[in-house]
Structures are given as structure tokens and as C-alpha cells.
A and B are shown apart, each in its own frame.
Chain A
Amino acid sequence: MNEKEYYIPDGTYWPIIGSIGISILLIGFANQMHGVSWGSSAMVLGFAITVFMLFGWLGQVVNESVNGQYNQQVDRSFRWGMSWFIFSEVMFFAAFFGALFYARMLSVPWLGGADNNIFTPDLWNGFSATWQQVAFTTPGTTLQSGTAISIPTKLVEATGLPALNTILLLLSGVTLTLAHHALRSDNRNQVIGWLVATITLGVAFLGFQVMEYGHAYADGLKLTSGIYGSTFYMLTGFHGFHVTLGVIMLTVILFRVQKGHFSANNHFAFEGVAWYWHFVDVVWLGLFVFVYWV
């Protein structure tokens, strides 16, 4: 497409389909949580519609890109879009990290009697302010929601699986960069090789993460284990979800590389996914240090 022309797409049905899909998904989810029988079916339906929308919409974008309907300006818009989307994700994780720091540095010590002397151990008799095991430990105490508290018997450790996973993710960052270099020098077989390596590392990460969850769960660390369990599963869970998305996106990119969609200087989709993957990497480093290690 001519560089002097503006690109303006025609009307589209994908957004409204997406809105319908996501709304059905969420309404189904809420009903499912409230024990309504059709809740989970609605979730499945909404999810299917959403996935259909994503394939249709992104497929259309891919087609237009491959047909050469985009110019440099469109490419830049996509870049701005992707980078600020990632920033919004950073802020989403920041909320949970904020909760972690606040609990660790302030509220748990206060509940344990530090500083302000309001919550003296007398008032909060039976409260364990030990990190990872915080909660009322008096037998029979429940959370305000009525859920029983599960105190873990063993502490989570950074060595072992989490450390291994750190190495895997860091390596995957390297292999992805190598894939990018290969793409820039137009060496398609190498790109495919490094991409497969990256995806494999990502899948291995997810597998080990599932194993790690299994161990933690067996030791009694659950969502219901007080603030540590809450932040642990929320942070690692959302991170794992993002890794999963990243693996899916990398796989799509792999297929597109095989089809020859990218050239040495025109491959925004590849870079966008790579940025995303590095972002997921960096979040993991934060997790490893603050959730598992210190």
C-alpha cells in the first residue's frame, strides 16, 4: 500500500461478537459461582464465541497484512498499541504485588502486634504472624466468608522447581531473541528451530508449575491459607495464565513463520509476541524473588 495513503478499515462485526461472547462468559461465570445450573454451559458458550471472534478478527488482520494493505503508519500504530497494552498488564500485576508488599511489610506485622499497639497479641490471641503461615491458627477459626483456614505444614522454597523454572524462562528469553536474530537475517529454518525451543521451554515451565502447585497443595498451601496463599496463587496463577497465552501466541507465530508471513524487516506480530514473552519473563523474576525467595 502506498505510504502516502491512510489506512481505514471498513465496518466490522467482530467487536460486537466479542462483546456478546465475553458478556455471556462472565454472566455464566457469575451464575456458576452462585450454583445456577446453566452457569457453566453459558461459560463454555461465551468462551467459544470469544475464541471464534479472536480467530476471525485476528485472521482478518493477518490476511490484510499479508495482502500488503498495511503501511508503515499502521505498523507503528500496532506497535504503540501493543506496548501500552503491555504496560496496562504491568499495572494489573502491580496491584497484586502491591497487595503482597502491603501485607508482608505492614498489615501482618501490625496484626502481630508491631508498631501501633492496637492489635496486641492479647486481642488477636492465636494469630500467627509468621510469613507464609499467617492466619488465625486457633482450631475452628474460619475466614469471614466462613471458609476454613488451611495452614500449610511446609514452607514454599525457592530452590528446586521454582529455581529450575527461572532458568527455563530466562533461557526461553534467549532462544526467542535468537529466533528474532535469525528472522532478521532471513533464515527461516533457524527461526523455526529457535521458536520451537522457546515454546518447548514455555511448556516445560508450565508443566513444572503444575507439579509445584501439586506439592504446595499437598502441604496444605491453598487459596484459603490466608494472605500468603491468596497472593501466592493469585500472582503465580495469573502469571501462569499469561505464560499459557504466550505459548499459544508463539505457536501461532510459528505457523505464520512456516507460511512465510514475515520478512526480515516486516514482522510486527513476531515482535509484539516477543515483547509479551519478555514481559511475562520479567514478571516471573519479580515472583521468584518476592513470592518464593525472600
Chain B
Amino acid sequence: MTTATASHDEHHHGPEKGLMRWVKTTNHKDIGTLYLWFAFAMLLIGGALAMGIRMELLQPGLQLMDPHFFNQLTTMHGLIMVFGAIMPAFVGLGNWLIPMMVGAPDMALPRMNNWSFWILPFAGGILLSTFFMEGGAPAFGWTFYAPLSTTFAPDSTDFFIFAVHLLGFSSIMGAINIIATVLNMRAPKMKLMDMPLFVWTWLITSFLLIGAMPVLAGAVTMMLTDRNFGTAFFDATGGGDPVMFQHIFWFFGHPEVYIMILPAFGVVSHIIPTFARKPLFGYSSMVYATASIAFLSYIVWAHHMFLTGMPVAGELYFMYATMLIAVPTGVKVFNWISTMWRGSMTFETPMLWAVSFVFLFTIGGFSGLMLGIAPADIQYHDTYFVVAHFHYVLVTGALWSIIAATFYWLPKWTGKMYNEGLAKVHFWWAVISVNVLFFPQHFLGLAGMPRRIPDYSLQFADFNMISSIGGFAFGASFILFTYIVIDCIRNGKPATARPWEGAKGLEWTLAPKAQYHSFNTPPSRELIKSESQHS
């Protein structure tokens, strides 16, 4: 018999013994755990590359490496962080949390769930192996513009291309699974508008993934044939156009950045109400804002291309469309703040990360608005201002929410509490150092320092040194983070089923360490109502 059904005893479908459990598993919690550890490993590798970048930029002049290797570092850093760390971490959170939040036993397509994960180590391995190939790793930036990535790239690029294919395949399967889970495994008594926001944001993110990742696959496929089979998609001598590559890439790329931030919005929308001890302000407007951000994200891509010589009508259209995204984003920030307004707030670690998310992400949103002004972008484009912008939205946005989620749900994952005192030290260490790291990059960019260059002229020296020192401190903060998490798993004090006083959500009705299959019988309407975010 290859199935286990809910009527069996619990021990029938508890975890298998031994290492093979992790290879064979079809359990959403196991797979979530695998995703999270994989993402964490990639975060450390990507972080190590970033340390190399900041070391080279500590002082003007070429100190440690030749420019070509520097370019490999920036390229691989970006690719690993986006495709290896942030995206898998969110899929891991989704795996762990969505079945619990919708009152289901597991994901809808558990075997495919296993495959979504088990493609990743192979794709990551292929990607990392390019470092050891002749000609080195890809060095054309994480955006791999043609012709840098076609005519002028090393052989290892073909391996990079296949790694992207595999990563995309994994993401698409993961997204399909989440859609099927939310739409089909949800407790029968849970209406769509009862769903917690993390579920909503992931559902919408899944549509972004399914719409955008195949386009990326198409882009790298065209790269592949341009490189190896004599096609001329991105080659003007054959009537193609390198700028076309940018259009296709950013048609994927802009939805991609929202793929990395919408689930973060979801996480924060859970944590803030808990520690403000108030229902989420404007639940339905949050849902609609998420949906409109997702829609708009498909029609603003060329704000990354203001300097490619687009027709003026194009510049204007993409500028105004981009500005429009600020409206639903503003709705969200407004709702988070209104949730806190007159709440009985306490500041446990998850809340610290969530509140600083709101603050720091908003800084990133504002710099995004500045970049979205086409005439101003002529000055900012390809400078450190852009680097500062996307690190505020991605590090203090996406990554922040992942860390916040880790602390918030760690008790439910492990049945144990982490060390609150140490976690607070870690928070302040990280939040200060990350600003020392990225805030000066705004000034560098406004003063004209170009991105992706290992050397710089002398007037940029001070801010670069400050930024590098902040970078090393921020990097080191992850040692403490690792310690806190492992310490919690090993020696943490037992947690209660609902460790946070104000927390709502079906996941908190489960055992302190959630049982292997979350809900064997669907929760009742009363339970769903009393655990909903907007009672």
C-alpha cells in the first residue's frame, strides 16, 4: 500500500528513520525544512562572495583581485541570493506554513513537492561549479545582458543557462503546488476572504511565478541558441537586437522582484497584528493591494531601461505606470501603521524585525520612486544609488521578513523557544550594521559612483570604507544568528502551543511542535472564525 490515510494511527505516517527520509519525503514540513536549510546555506555562500566584494571596495585601487574576478563575484552573488537564498526561503516558509494556515494535512501534490526541492541542489551545484571552469564563472551581472552573455561570455555560461532552466522548473512546480493547495486543500469551511495574508500573498506570488519564470526560460533558451546554434535573437547583424534581451529579461525581472517581496508583505501582516494585539487594519484592502501590485508588476518592466533609447512615449508610459505601484504599496504601509496605532505593543524579536521592515522597506520604496522618474534616472542609473535601492527592498525587505518569520514560527517548528536576549542583541547588531552598509551607498550613487566596478576615484573612498566596515559587521551577525537557531533547536526551553499572546491563526491551534501532518480533519467554521485575522 503506497498511501497513508488520515484514518490511520499517527505513527503510521510519522517520519521515516534515517537519512533517506529527507530524500524520499513527501511531507510539507520536511520539505519546508529542506528548503530553509538550503536557502540558508546559499545565503552564507552568497554572503561570502559579498564579503569579497566589500573587501575589494574597502579602499580605492585594485587590492585583492583582478576586475574579471570581481565581476564574477558580483554576478554570482546576485544570482545566488535571488535564486538560491530568497526564493527558496520563501518557498520553504510557504511549505511549512500554508497547509497549517489553511487547515490541510499537507500540500496538494506531495510528490511533486519533493521534486521542486530536489532539483535545487543540482541546479545550485551546476551554478557554483562554473567558478571552477575555464574562463571562470559568469561575469556579466545577474541580469546577464546580451551581448555580454552571448558573444563575449565564457563557456561556463551554458552551464549557467541550464542551471536557470532547472531553477525555473523548480519554481514553477512549487507555484503550481501552492495554487492547488490553497484552492483545493483549504478547509471546506474557510472562505477565500478568511485566508490569512501569508496565504493570500503566496497565492498571488504563485501566479507571478507561473507567468514570469517561463519567460526567463525562453530568454535563456534564446541565449543558448545564439551562443551555440547561430541564431540572431540578440544580434543586430542578423536583424535581432540586444535591447530585446533586456525587454524579455525585465518582463520576467520586474515581476521577479515582487515575487521576492509579496510573501514578505504576508509575513509582516501576521507579525504586526500579533504584537500590537489588534486585528490587521484593512484586511481586504491588503488583499486587493497585493493583487493590484501583482498586476502592475507585469506592465512596468522598462523602468529598468530608461537609458536604452526607448521612444519618448515609452519612457513616459513606463514612468507613470511605475509611479502607480506606489499607490497600493502605500496602502500596505498605511495599514501596517494603522494596525499598530493605539495597539498594546510589545517588542519581542519578531516584532522588532517586522517594525524595522516597515521602516527600512519604505526607504527602499522611496528610492524606487526616485529611480522611477525617467529624467532623474539618467543620473542614477547604474550607480550605487540603484544598489542601495534594491538592497533596502531585498535585504531589509525580503530577507528581513524571512528572519522575522524564522523567529516568529520557530517555536511552532521546533516546539522550543529561542533565547530572547541573544536574539535582541542579534537584531540590533544586524539593523545597525545593515544601515552602515547600505545607507552610504545612496550618497555614493548620487555622487556618481558606478556599480559593478572594482576600483573608484578618490572622492568615494570614505563612504566606501564605512560601507565595507558595515558589511563585515553585518556578515558577522549571521554567525550569531546561526548560533541562536541551533541553540534553540538543541537546548531551547519547551514552547507552548501559542507562544505569542496576541497570535491568531490555525497554526497556533496545533501542538507546540506541530504534528507531522497538520490537520487530519478539517477545522470547524467556529475555529476558523475565531482564528481569522479580521474578526
Contact = CB atoms under 8 A, between A and B. Distances in A.
A243 B158 CA distance: 27
Interface string A81-118: 10011011111111110110011001110110001101
A102 B214 contact: no
A223 interface: yes
A142 B211 CA distance: 36
B108 interface: yes
B24 A12 contact: yes
Given A92-B217, A228-B239, A230-B225, A27 B106 contact: no
A33 interface: yes
Given A15-B111, A108-B239, A230-B231, A22 B176 contact: no
A136 B184 contact: no
B107 to A, nearest CB: 9
> Which of B3, B227, B244, B311 has its CB near the most chain A CB atoms (within 10 A)?
B3
> Which of A2, A99, A223 has its CB near the most chain B CB atoms (within 10 A)?
A99
A189 interface: no
Interface stretch (A143-151, A198-206, A257-265, A266-274): A143-151
Interface stretch (B4-12, B330-338, B369-377, B408-416): B4-12
Report, as a range, how many residues of chain A touch the other chain. Answer: 35 or more
A226 B213 contact: no
B222 A145 contact: no
Contacts of A251: none
Interface string B208-233: 00111111011101100111111111
A76 B185 CA distance: 10
Interface stretch (B113-121, B426-434, B489-497, B526-534): B113-121
A153 interface: no
Interface residues of B, number: 83
B24 to A, nearest CB: 3
Nearest to B123: A23
Interface in A1-34: 1-2, 5-16, 18-20, 22-23, 26-27, 29-30, 33-34
Given A77-B108, A84-B179, A107 B23 contact: no
Interface SS of chain B: helix
A89 B222 contact: no
A216 interface: no
B110 A224 contact: no
B215 A227 contact: no
A199 B492 CA distance: 62
B150 interface: yes
B105 A8 contact: yes
B184 A80 contact: yes
Interface string A65-89: 0000100010011101100110111
A26 B179 contact: no
Contact of B237 (A96, A107, A129, A141): A141
A19 B119 contact: yes
Contacts of A7: 3, 5
A201 B25 CA distance: 42
Contact of B122 (A23, A33, A73, A98): A23
B54 interface: no
A284 to B, nearest CB: 18
A135 interface: yes
A95 B251 CA distance: 9
Nearest to A150: B230
Given A23-B126, A102-B241, A145-B151, A33 B158 contact: yes
Contacts of A145: 150-151, 226-227, 230, 235
B3 A16 contact: no
B165 interface: yes
B520 interface: yes
B233 A89 contact: no
A238 B175 CA distance: 23
B361 to A, nearest CB: 28
A156 interface: no
A118 B122 CA distance: 45
B26 A226 contact: no
A64 interface: yes
Contacts of B241: 102-103, 106-107, 110-111
Nearest to B147: A144
A77 B239 contact: no
Nearest to A13: B24
A145 B224 CA distance: 12
B210 A91 contact: yes
A32 to B, nearest CB: 10
Contact of B222 (A78, A99, A107): A99
B159 A234 contact: no
Contacts of B217: 92, 95
Contacts of B180: 76-77, 80-81, 84
B166 interface: yes
Contacts of B115: 14-15, 18-19
Interface of B: 2-7, 13, 16, 20-21, 23-26, 104-106, 108-112, 114-115, 118-119, 121-122, 126, 147, 150-151, 155, 158-159, 162, 165-166, 172, 175-177, 179-180, 183-185, 210-215, 217-219, 221-222, 225-233, 235-241, 243-244, 247-248, 251, 309, 311, 517, 520
10 smallest beta-carbon distances between A and B, as pairs: A95-B218, A11-B24, A134-B239, A15-B115, A226-B238, A230-B231, A107-B241, A147-B230, A224-B230, A227-B239
13 contacts: A8-B105, A15-B114, A26-B162, A29-B162, A69-B3, A81-B180, A87-B210, A91-B210, A96-B222, A99-B233, A229-B231, A233-B231, A234-B225
